[in-house]
A and B are shown apart, each in its own frame.
Chain A
Amino acid sequence: MNTRRSFLKKSFLGSQALVWGVPVVYGSVAPEKYPFVGKWLADPEMLPGKNAGLKVLGERPWNIETPPHLLDDKVTPADKMFVRNNGLMPEAIDVANWSLTINGESAKTTKSYSIAELKSKFKTYTYQLTIECGGNGRAEFNPPAKGNQWEVGAVSCAKWTGVRLKDILMDVGIKDDAVYIGYYGKDVHLSKDPKKVVISRGVPISKALEDETLVAWAMNGEDIPLANGHPLRLVMGGWPGSVSGKWLSTIAVRNVVHDGEKMGGDSYRVPCEAVAPGEVVPDENMCIIEGMPVKSIISYPKTGALIKVGQTLPVRGHAWAGDKSVKEVHVSADFGATWQKADLEGPANRLAWQHFSAELELPATGYYEIWAKATDSDGKSQPMVVPGWNPKGYLNNACHRIAVKVR
């Protein structure tokens, strides 16, 4: 980390320069330490604590996704948890002096708590919570949608430990007109302007007051990884990951829909009324994403498996459904012509993903694709093709598939 940081500083100062006679107007033309495109986190120095098999979409800001075969654990380990950063991670975190402030026009008073106070004052809870980036699957939209081109692996389900946001809000007192909460964190805008808020999103008060909405300091029983929000993170399962504010410092209780950075425009919003692919959607026709749609991944085997004719193919993975639960998972080896019901476990707790498994008999030699399709508790299933186009490519919950050959 230190090496990397000093490298960044050096390059920042050293590269105020001309590129082919073009004056560099601002900041740095930072020579990336790990030059470009589709790399794996193979260099352990890149982002300490993350698995070498993760795929780097960008290193400034850090955006890395987990290939589905590395998501096979029932509880996502820290080293395999994806990272979606909007800005630069805070440096020099002082856990002892970190505080969470609750304020806003619908808070009865303003109160601040140290992490030690949160731990001693409120009851501690641990939940396994599914966090998926709203843009997971963006890469498949046509025409292409703007932003990081996530494939399938911007999803995780780790065990989070902290206190209920509702207990904190009750301690502070909230007014009857409270409709929303909005968070603020300590990340730094990419322009390095200290006054510029990177991202400040939120949820309706009803979601904020759910039992599983935590202000967490631990993940899987250890400190939260820096890239995932150490030392304090707001965690809400089933909604776009961006509502789970990292490096959490403030929660505002609002009497209006929170209007922080990335609450408006195309950010984390989709057309209220479905549009044809590529259509221009005016701002007033965009609606904020709430619960994520039903989805699943095949985490075993890794795509590309070669098996011998007569062998049974074991398949397993996870399924999740936003605020709902998953009722059924089916798998197909013939592009959806026939479906076989998989065994499905219940969730560890509300808003945790569920595990499925199946054994497939593949009748003849040849090329197969194994598709998985989950159905939520309301009877809604995953589409086999990419669903409703939207300008930023959110909510692609099309069935995941892997390639298999029988020889």
Chain B
Amino acid sequence: MMEKKNDLLEVLQKATGALIGILSLALILSLGAAYLFFFYKPSPKPILAKQETATPVAKVEAVAPNAENGTVDEETGFIIDTGWELAKANCTNCHAATLVTQNRATREGWEGMIRWMQRTQKLWDLGENEAAILDYLAKNYAPENKGRRPNLTDVEWYELEGTK
């Protein structure tokens, strides 16, 4: 910013003839700014509104319509259970579903993460869907007691070559 101002000053000094032109431009710009300031009312959620109206109504093909409870959605890895479609619709827009499905938390824990994303990461108000999403997450991605140090699991055994 500082540098730009300095550049501007130099230009002004070198070409004083252009001064009047620049001043009138500034006048026009500030009138425009004043107009915006006094008359422009941003809609509360401009992006949302725009996307919603521009959204064609269609089906997402990859969703298996007869997926059974307990199996997983092929596309996202979400466990199929009551509310999973809501999680898919609201929780995979910004990041991969794996960021959700890696985590384990109580209902309060999930609510805390949602509030954090709403406060700092532009997650929208989930409205009446929130309770259903929380129920789904709290049930299917609940914490298990891991103790202070779990056993080593998923070990793939192999012959170690080259030892004496």
Docked pose: A18 CA to B164 CA in angstroms: 62
Cβ of A348 within 8 Å of any chain B Cβ, yes or no, is no
A147 within 8 A of B: yes
> How far apart are the CA atoms of A31 and B152 in the complex, in Å?
33
CA distance in complex: A261, B122 (Å)? 13
The smallest C-beta distance from B39 to any residue of chain A, in angstroms, reads: 22
Stretch at the interface among A124-132, A203-211, A397-405: A397-405
Q: Which listed segment binds B: A89-97, A105-113, A156-164, A220-228?
A: A105-113
Bitwise, A163-191 to B at CB < 8 A (1) or not (0) is 00000000000000000000000000111
By the criterion of a CB under 8 Å from any partner CB, how many residues of chain B are at the interface? 64
Q: Do A189 and B122 have beta carbons less than 8 Å apart?
A: yes
A111 touches B150 (CB 8 A): no
Which of A25, A59, A403 is within 8 Å of B152, CB to CB?
A403
B156 contacts the other chain (Cβ, under 8 Å)? yes
User: Which residues 68-127 of B have a CB within 8 angstroms of A?
Assistant: 72, 74-77, 85-86, 88-90, 92-99, 101-105, 109, 112-113, 116, 120-122, 124
Indicate if the CB atoms of A32 and B155 lie closer than 8 Å.
no
Of the listed stretches B8-16, B18-26, B141-149, chain A binds B141-149
Cβ–Cβ contact A37 & B148, under 8 A: no
A20-B121 contact given A32-B96, A36-B97, A304-B158, CB 8 Å threshold:
no
Docked complex Cα distance between A136 and B107 (Å): 25
Within the assembled complex, what's the spacing in Å between the Cα atoms of A25 and B105?
Answer: 25
Say whether A29 faces chain B, with CB atoms less than 8 Å apart.
yes
The answer to whether A37 touches B160, judged by C-beta atoms less than 8 angstroms apart, is no
Interface residues on A, range: 35 or more
Residues in A with CB closer than 8 Å to B89 are: 19, 22-25, 29
Q: Which of A103, A196, A312 contacts B2 (CB 8 A)?
A: A103
Inter-subunit contact A18/B57 (CB<8 Å): yes
Among B86, B98, B157, the residue within 8 A (CB) of A405 is B157
A193 at the interface (CB under 8 A from B): yes
Known A-B contacts A18-B60, A27-B94, A386-B148; A144 and B101 likewise in contact (beta carbons under 8 Å): no
With A26-B124, A110-B1 as contacts: A16 and B55 at CB distance below 8 Å: yes
List chain A residues, Cβ under 8 A from B122. 189, 191, 193, 196
Q: Judge whether A191 and B121 touch: CB under 8 Å.
A: yes
Q: Is A77 an interface residue (CB 8 A)?
A: no
What residue in chain A is nearest B123 (Cβ atoms)?
Answer: A191
Q: Is the beta-carbon distance between B158 and A24 smaller than 8 angstroms?
A: no
Contact with B along A355-393 (1 / 0, CB 8 A): 000000000000001000000000000001110000000
Could you tell me the distance between the alpha carbons of A149 and B61 in the complex, rounded to whole angstroms?
30
Asked whether B113 lies within 8 Å of A146 as measured between CB atoms, the reply is yes
A305 within 8 A of B: yes
Is B104 a contact partner of A306 (Cβ separation < 8 A)?
no
Cα–Cα, bound, A196→B123 (Å): 13
Partner of B149, one of A61, A147, A385: A385
The CA-CA distance from A401 to B63 in the complex, in Å, is 41
User: Using Cβ atoms and an 8 Å threshold, which residues of chain B touch A23?
Assistant: 52, 55, 89
**Contact of B60 with A15 in the complex, beta carbons under 8 Å:** yes
Contact check, B76 vs A61: say whether CB atoms are below 8 A apart. no
**Is A306 a contact partner of B158 (Cβ separation < 8 A)?**
yes
Cβ-defined partner of B159 (8 Å) among A31, A306, A403: A306
Task: For residue B108, give the distance in angstroms from its CB to the closest CB of chain A.
Answer: 9
CA–CA, A365 and B143, complex, Å? 37
Select the residue from A25, A112, A191, A402 with max chain B CB neighbours within 10 A: A25
A35, A57, A142: the one contacting B75 at CB < 8 Å is A35
Shortest C-beta distance, A63 to chain B (Å), equals 8
Interface string of B54-65 (1 = CB under 8 A from A): 111111101100
State in angstroms the CA–CA spacing of A31 and B61 once bound together: 10
Complex Cα spacing A223 to B96, Å? 28
Nearest Cβ in chain B — how far from A299, in angstroms? 14
Residue of A nearest to B92 (CB): A29
B99/A58 in contact, CB under 8 A: yes
The answer to whether A24 and B121 touch across the interface, beta carbons within 8 angstroms, is no
Is A140 in contact with B51, judged by CB distance below 8 angstroms?
Answer: no
Known: A58-B99, A305-B160. A26 touches B63 (CB 8 A): no
User: What's the Cα separation between A76 and B86 when bound, in Å?
Assistant: 42
Shortest beta-carbon contacts, A-B, top 6? A36-B77, A110-B2, A190-B94, A27-B93, A305-B160, A191-B122
Since A29-B92, A109-B2, A142-B148 are in contact, a sample of 7 more A-B pairs with Cβ atoms closer than 8 Å, ordered by chain A residue number, is A23-B89, A36-B72, A57-B99, A60-B96, A143-B105, A305-B160, A312-B163
6 examples of A-B residue contacts, CB within 8 angstroms: A16-B54, A59-B96, A103-B2, A312-B163, A386-B148, A403-B152
